[in-house]
Structure 1
């Protein structure tokens, strides 16, 4: 049975069966009209609807409804008396179940094969809070929340323009999740938008809990690099939309997906545009930090394995092996492994235990390991600098890629030295030139070189010219 019947009891029974007799499905029967001759039932899920809205704007107007009319005209009259900004009529049970699980209330009538859907949702959500992962010393501090409508509300408050377009889609076979594709009409790159819409239209999954599946679909290829950017800051999303990019927000996720995302985006932060200082030096320092984080352990291993004989005995003892148990390569691997455990454990244990964990880690990884001649002090300093520099851009999409490259270059350096590192870097650059984010070359505007787009890459250009310029992307073809 797909369509609503005229028998009210049969309809109620069928909906109960569709929800497998769940105990929080409420059926509120009532009589209304002249001499209470009309029979209806309001069906909703308890706990996700606003009972006050239902009582004041739906039930009370119906009970006070006393007009006489022809039987066929009752739906139109009820539609007039219900005090709700969003009322729609439906004819199928699929429409009713979809509405009920989204916090709406369904109204069915005896003798009618048409139902009504009323907006009554009331979802519990946390209040708007500071964006914890992308903090800045100046500028807006609010972050996105888990509710899609709240996030759209925040974004609309920042972009007060009719050019802002929201395309809502529902994805999921078992449980439907709403996502919004967001762009600025007339500004968005049409090729990017078409690529995103095409890939999303081909997505078929049972359910969506997190936005990672959406990221993978939009990326369209496997890579160690993130070909999309995620942000919890609405101002970052707004800025990306003004640049002609596309944003995707998934209901239930406090992060927005931005595409295309280019390699150079990982070195840009919101405070670059809020602060006067550092327009030239800040991004250069971040790039140096990226290089050190990826290559420093490999360089240390190369110097110890292949170039010790070029230095005096005093220098060798100070910076390289001095009777330690582990050679340089295994020192690096051991320390990277321990620090990876430390980082993972930091996000798993209760906050009250973090200080204790840090104390134990400092004793085990630091003083004790050096005193016991397991690792060399210079090796510990090398790994310390590696992790400090990695945190400069760890929240901007390159953390996983840096960890993978660090391990690969460490392995290459152990066997092939600087020659292997040069060859590996060349292969890496060739690999990156073949990556595309929603059809846009990942290394753009460096490769292919586009001079007009360099004003916001390794340095931040004049704000007025940036705000008034139109960004463009290389042809998808």
Structure 2
């Protein structure tokens, strides 16, 4: 086994946290190789080293050593030198004997990790408060606790030639469509990356090209990931990332929140309608304002025209420039509020918006009506957080076309928006599904959700030739 030792030392020997604990027994020498910072030293001492020292008659049979000597629940054989290095870097102890032509590993992980806490990005008023952390085994256990089903499959693989990151694929056999499972597996197998540090490296491989929209879902809550898996979808977990990808992902899901399934059905349906209306307002209000005030005065009530003219009398900028300038200011405030520490960011966003709006009106850079329109559009965009950044970009496109062609440009931009959404797909499924389909998915959870016992029967469509 000298070749294993030489190879491991050539790869890890220069690291100060690499350890080689040598033991003597009645048959020869035993080498325990591990990374000190990744392993639990107490576990190694009590359940691996102590049994070897106290056992006076170590057998030359590797199976006997695994059964009678080592007190570990996870022991396996190592076939190659490269595999041995990966196990050491993953927090395992590699054991090499000079009297047995076999190499084994024992799981002894003991590295620091974040505890399971409430997710920041998906807060709920009622329902589970636990969220994923950066340890992939903890994330898998959170899903297994919710889905006690023997058909739940967890398949892991290593991606990243230099990072060797663990990626897990979770789905329920015979519920997830066969074609979908093969599609996702094929995508993962074809990924060629030097390193994989975040789940976005995988998300970009599934993302539709040349679009602002997310065509693959993501969540920080185990209950949401579990519900998607039970519907026949696939979840992807990456070691080191507190998020799970879910595929396929549909446009209507941007308006669905976890609270919808934990609160009263009628209040949930009202909230969902409010979010849809807020999306329409945020997307179209600035464009309509620019189109009407620039080209179509006759469609505006006479009293409002006089007030609008009075408020814009001291503004030297064209209306389109005025709207774009105020939109840019609000985007700056939003980005600053996100990047700054949370207590400072919230105060800065509120105070900054008040001061900026009043100062812009006082300085003659914007009228009061423009400030109200842009502020209302910005506020309503926060009701649909998953589409917030996308709405800002499409809002600018609609404003520009409306300023060039009036209402014709406004409706043309809406047509392009809908056509763009209709051209997208998510893992082979239409992105507008089930809005544009009636046979593929018997969905009871669109604008209004049905009773939970009816929703629980929603299963992603399986083609007839798969059954």
Distance 1:474 1:284 in 2: 32
Distance 2:274 2:463 in 1: 28
Q: Which stretch shifts more, 322-331 or 430-439?
A: 322-331
Give the aligned partner of residue 7 of structure 2: 14
Instruction: Provide the TM-score with structure 2 as the length reference.
Output: 0.93
Q: What's the CA shift string for 1:356-389, capped at 9, x where partnerless?
A: 5336523542211111111111111111111111
Distance 1:474 1:383 in 2: 46
Which secondary structure does the structure 1 equivalent of 2:215 belong to? coil
Q: Which stretch shifts more, 316-325 or 147-156?
A: 316-325
Q: Aligned pair 1:102/2:95, yes or no?
A: no
Distance 2:177 2:126 in 1: 30
Change (3 A) 1:225 1:411: same
Instruction: Provide the TM-score with structure 1 as the length reference.
Output: 0.91
Deviation at 1:409, TM superposition (A): 0.6
Q: Aligned pair 1:354/2:354, yes or no?
A: no
Give the aligned partner of residue 3 of structure 1: none
Which secondary structure does the structure 2 equivalent of 1:468 belong to? coil
Change (3 A) 1:142 1:181: same
Give the aligned partner of residue 128 of structure 2: 140
Q: Aligned pair 1:58/2:52, yes or no?
A: no
Q: Number of residues paired by the alignment? A: 462
Distance 1:360 1:388 in 2: 15
Deviation at 1:46, TM superposition (A): 1.1
Give the aligned partner of residue 29 of structure 2: 39
Distance 1:194 1:170 in 2: 18
1:409 pairs, out of 387, 398, 413, with: 398
Deviation at 1:442, TM superposition (A): 0.6
Distance 1:123 1:402 in 2: 41
RMSD, matched Cα: 2.3
Give the aligned partner of residue 75 of structure 1: 62
Distance 1:451 1:199 in 2: 23
Deviation at 1:347, TM superposition (A): 2.6
Q: Aligned pair 1:263/2:251, yes or no?
A: yes
What are the residue-to-residue correspondences of 1:26-425 with 2, within 5 Å?
26-33=19-26, 37-67=27-57, 69=59, 73-80=60-67, 81-219=69-207, 221-276=209-264, 277-308=266-297, 311=300, 315-319=304-308, 321-354=312-345, 357-358=348-349, 361-362=352-353, 364-394=355-385, 396=386, 398-425=387-414
Distance 1:344 1:41 in 2: 54
Q: Is the 8 A contact 1:444 1:450 kept in 2?
A: no
Q: Is the 8 A contact 2:317 2:365 kept in 1?
A: yes
2:433 pairs, out of 428, 432, 444, with: 444
Q: Which stretch shifts more, 458-467 or 358-367?
A: 358-367
Distance 2:363 2:298 in 1: 26
Q: What's the CA shift string for 1:103-130, capped at 9, x where partnerless?
A: 0011112244421111001121111111
Deviation at 1:469, TM superposition (A): 4.3
Deviation at 1:42, TM superposition (A): 0.8
Q: Is the 8 A contact 1:57 1:82 kept in 2?
A: yes
Change (3 A) 1:200 1:254: same
Distance 1:408 1:337 in 2: 14
Distance 2:375 2:200 in 1: 31
What are the residue-to-residue correspondences of 1:425-440 with 2, within 5 Å?
425-440=414-429
Q: Is the 8 A contact 2:442 2:458 kept in 1?
A: no
Distance 2:246 2:440 in 1: 24
Q: What's the CA shift string for 1:8-43, capped at 9, x where partnerless?
A: xx643431221261111111112112xxx4112111
Give the aligned partner of residue 453 of structure 2: 464
Q: Aligned pair 1:24/2:17, yes or no?
A: yes
Q: Is the 8 A contact 1:200 1:218 kept in 2?
A: no
Which secondary structure does the structure 2 equivalent of 1:121 belong to? coil
Q: Is the 8 A contact 1:32 1:64 kept in 2?
A: no
Which secondary structure does the structure 2 equivalent of 1:206 belong to? coil
Which secondary structure does the structure 2 equivalent of 1:106 belong to? strand
Distance 2:444 2:341 in 1: 45
